[in-house]
Structure 1
Amino acid sequence: MPNTASALELDAYLRLSRASLGEWLAAIRKISGCRDMACRLHNGGGPVGALSALESEQGFIVCIYASQGMDLTGCRTSDPVVLVPLGGEPQIARQGGRWQPLGKLIVARPEDRFHLRLPELGRVMIMRPRTDILNNLVNSNAGLPIAECHELIDCYLRRSLFFRDHNHARQMTSELFCRLGRIAREESKSGCDCSGLDRRLLRAVDKIRHEPDWDFNLTELASYAGVSERNLYYLMKRDAGITPYRLYQRNRLTRVRYRLVDCQCMVPHISRYAADEGFSHLGRFAALYREHFGELPSETAQWRRNLLEAESGHSEEPLAAP
């Protein structure tokens, strides 16, 4: 099965891909906080899906991608969570009720004990903001302004392609939660402006993200985008806040992360994966990796190994927090 990360939001923070059912359950229980969650696959077996997760001071976000149809049951957390459909027409059932379309953002409370049904290629985001922000979302007097919340989240996801490093990712995630809280208090509008990214810039971004064998060449990249080198650099800094090379470097690091997350061997070949993406100095690579993802490459690989050990029953050690 091809790596599903390219179809998953926040793919730079991939935690699990090409997973067995046992690994999937261990991971999603830990990441989401739904300790008694269960999963029934519609086809009975095979790889389950992918997960990405990003935590900030104001809350955390989990994105779920279903490689095949599934029912997630027993989804109960100690605090309310925000559920956001991202694609594939997912469904929700609350308090033992009937399945209904999850067609828009909703707040699910602990007493809901909700179930999620994801079709093949379905995608859902689970958000758990800090308590005061969550209270604003739950207790909004006029009801949540759903359209504005969706606009804000969509803008955040588009901008996530241009996170400069881990600190910037955490900062932007905290800002998302704070802005959702202000919208719920009716103190501001969403004020997003992500739809106007220059198409020439998007062409350059597409080449960087989807041509893994391409070696960085600013002249070639500018020609592909249809602008001069100077203008491409200007567009990237103005609209994305990142230089072309920095974006290229981050995507190379992300591709190493895909391989570490997918690796099921007990000793991952970190140096080989890094070299395949052009990182010849392992110490410098490890420092860059930690700068971009908030952990060392060995920690990314260890998290997957913990899942394998938990599934096989060879270890009682709890999974490390993402």
Structure 2
Amino acid sequence: MEIGHCRASEQLLLFASAGEVSVSCSGGSWQSLDMPTQVCSGDEFDLRFSENSRLVVLKPALELFPDALRAGVLRQFPAMSPPIKKYLESMRFYFDNAHARALTRELLGQLARFQAGGPVAVVPKMQPLDRRLRRAIEKIEQNPGWEFNLEELARYAGASERNLYYLMKNNTGMTPYRFYQRQRLIRVRRRLVDCQASEAHISRYAADEGFSHLGRFAALYREHFGELPSQTVRRRQHLYEAEAEAGELSCEMLV
């Protein structure tokens, strides 16, 4: 799939977190986004995605090496790849808003040191997940209609219930049920963010994921994302209104 005529409303860092993603700036050659790649404010560029790929778009608060920037020229930062990859892997298992903020502060601190010309800390490579744990996680992530059953999950993973419980707790900081609940919250949030209708139906989306008590759902949502579902909807609406007033669709909206 290709997305053409994107325009950076401000300086961006583009980075493929899954699959193959390439970028072409000002009609130039295609360049892989397997490492953080800088796009200047105002640049127009095209994107090419492989199947099941994912693109991360970062907006640095300050310009990176502003004296060296030239419009239409892509600059890559391989030294940034390890801390960003570790961050993205860790964010897969953050268990509440406070934890997510702590992980983000750590990443921003590393990027700030890099921007100031300091050395980037060596990031130890994360060990692959235990095969049994990986199977359990994939079952929860890839089967939205599945109702939680620890005995069934353990049997599918090839572990005892006790072993699976401790495998997940020790590797992710969450129990199997907490991880299952987290995935349901994430799916609701995605629907709220992606909703194209004039009104997002929070209660219906929550009910579709098995949350029958709206007050309890809102509390869990706020604990995990740091805001109420209604606040997510308002922020999404404000973003779309701002883009509509600008009269253009930016890259940030497209991806």
Which of 218, 225, 229 aligns to 1:286? It is 218
1:90–1:123 Cα contact (<8 Å) kept:
no
* Structure 1 residue 310 displacement after superposition: 6.0
Per-residue deviation, residues 110-133 of structure 1 (Å, max 9, x unmatched)? 4x743331124564323234549x
**Equivalent of residue 43 in structure 2, options 92, 97, 114:** 114
Matched-pair contact (CA < 8 Å) for 1:91–1:102: yes
Q: 1:81–1:127: 8 Å Cα contact kept in structure 2?
A: yes
* Contact 2:37–2:77 (Cα < 8 Å) also in 1: no
Among 156, 159, 162, which residue is 1:224 paired with?
A: 156
Secondary structure, aligned partner of 1:92: strand
Instruction: Give the count of matched residue pairs.
Output: 234
Cα shift at 1:223 = 1.5
Q: Letter of the 2:8 partner, please give it.
A: C
Conserved? CA contact 2:22–2:47, under 8 Å: yes
Q: Is the 1:264–1:305 contact (alpha carbons within 8 Å) kept by the matching residues of 2?
A: no
Cα 1:284–1:159, aligned 2, differ >3 Å: closer, same or farther? Answer: same
Q: Which residue of 1 aligns with 2:142?
A: 210
**Displacement of 1:200:** 0.9
Aligned-partner residue type, residue 165 of structure 1: D
8 Å CA contact 1:108–1:114 kept in 2: the answer is no
Q: Which amino acid aligns with 2:136?
A: A
**TM-score using structure 2 length:** 0.76
Return the letter of the residue paired with 1:154: K
Is 1:297 the counterpart of 2:229? The answer is yes
- Structure 2 CA distance for aligned equivalents of residues 225 and 169 of structure 1: 27
* AA aligned opposite 2:3: M
AA matched with 2:209? E
Q: 1:298 to 1:104 in 2, by over 3 A?
A: same
**1:171/1:90 Cα in 2 relative to 1: closer, same or farther (>3 Å)?**
same
Aligned to 1:179: 110
Query: Does structure 2 conserve the Cα–Cα contact (< 8 Å) formed by 1:88 and 1:118?
Result: no
Matches within 5 A, 1:96-111: 98-106=28-36, 108=38, 110=40
Q: CA deviation at 1:163?
A: 1.1
TM-score by length of 1: 0.62
RMSD: 3.3
Tell me if the contact between 1:75 and 1:114 (Cα under 8 Å) persists in the aligned partners.
yes
User: Given the alignment of the two structures, is residue 92 of structure 1 paired with residue 24 of structure 2, yes or no?
Assistant: yes
Matched residue, 1:127: 58
Q: Distance in 2 between matches of 1:267 and 1:173?
A: 31
How many Å separate the matches in 2 of 1:109 and 1:266? 32
Q: Which residue of 57, 61, 82 maps to 2:13?
A: 82
Cα deviation, 1:21-43, whole Å, max 9, x if unaligned, reads xxxxxxxxxxxxxxxxxxxxxxx
Structure 1 position 235 matched with structure 2 position 167? yes
1:188/1:145 CA distance change after superposition, 3 Å: farther
2:8 and 2:39 in contact (8 A); partners too: no
Q: Name the CA distance, whole Å, in 2 between partners of 1:123 and 1:114.
A: 21
Where do residues 257-272 of structure 1 align in structure 2 (5 Å cutoff)? 257-272=189-204
Q: Are residue 71 (structure 1) and residue 4 (structure 2) matched?
A: yes
Q: Tell me if 1:192 matches 2:120.
A: no
**1:252 counterpart = 2:252:** no
Q: Does 1:163 align with 2:94?
A: yes
Q: 1:82 to 1:262 in 2, by over 3 A?
A: closer
The alignment partner of 1:98 has SS state of coil
Q: What are the ranges of 5 or more consecutive residues in structure 1 without an aligned counterpart?
A: 1-67, 314-322
Rounded to whole Å, the distance in 1 between the matches of 2:112 and 2:241 is 39
DSSP 3-state at the match of 2:15:
strand
Q: Distance in 1 between matches of 2:202 and 2:39?
A: 41
Q: Are the counterparts in 2 of residues 166 and 291 from structure 1 also a CA contact under 8 Å?
A: yes
Helix, strand or coil at the partner of 2:59:
strand
| Structure 2 contact 12–57 (Cα < 8 Å) conserved | yes
SS in 1 for 2:56: strand
CA contact (8 A) 2:36 2:80 kept: no
C-alpha distance in structure 2 between counterparts of 1:107 and 1:120, whole Å? 15
For 1:115 and 1:145, the matched residues in 2 are separated by 20
Q: Distance in 2 between matches of 1:238 and 1:165?
A: 16
- Preserved CA contact (<8 Å) 2:83 2:123: yes
Shift of 1:288: 0.9
